[in-house]
Structure 1
């Protein structure tokens, strides 16, 4: 940070983005549209939940930073900014809709206090078709992280899991 006249200025050193990671193969098999909006995600949860499959794995452990990251992603994607002048009072319907949407994600998730570890593990185990994660998961999905090879099948060098995700060509 630096002072510029009477104001303080700063340049962020990085950003922390989140994205919906989903199993393209399962969506195509079920005839579902990609989870690119608030309407498609609950539809996919309903269609893809079932035996040994959770429709979503949302962060629910409130004292874990991952929940803050995921919830912030949902809030910002719906136009909610809690640090805006006027706070939550000015956010009204958008805030309510965002929290209701997050409840849908949480209800589709396994019971218990969940954070990054469970969402990642259940996605890689094929037990959920969707999670919200940072781009840091992409190298692992593509089988490029030697310390964490995909556990999709017995071959740790297989790119079979990567082929089933939306970003693989």
Structure 2
């Protein structure tokens, strides 16, 4: 009987030890650091369209490698709020810089990161783009990302705001550089 009790205690200690080892392994944890993004700059301007870009850093500050399976942007500019432009947003990894709107799965080792480029294109519904953006409002943009790591996959998001003041500043800087 003593032998059986000792054996059960050893098995329980082993199970608890294995569980603690697994629980201590941690997981990947991604963070898009939107408050450290660059200011939006004007990348391209035509008579009826303007394209702006910003660079946003991200980090996997977890204890395991993780994969960013899908990353995309979602802008919030309902026509009830501002109806002078059509808006398109895209994300790409800074180191790959694709222009087809496709996010290729990206493995990020623990305690490392990178940066993404967010591109926002405004197309005037009528007339000149500068006139269309004259009364632009602040526009929230979500960065939505799917993470695959040790735990079950999950979707998270980070939000930034493209301000009307940033848009006007980028347009003015472009005009000043053109002179």
**TM bucket, shorter chain:** under 0.3
If the length of structure 1 is used for normalisation, what is the TM-score? 0.23
Structure (1 or 2) with the greater helix fraction: 1
Greater RCO, CA 8 A, separation 6+: 1
If the length of structure 2 is used for normalisation, what is the TM-score? 0.22
Larger Rg: 2
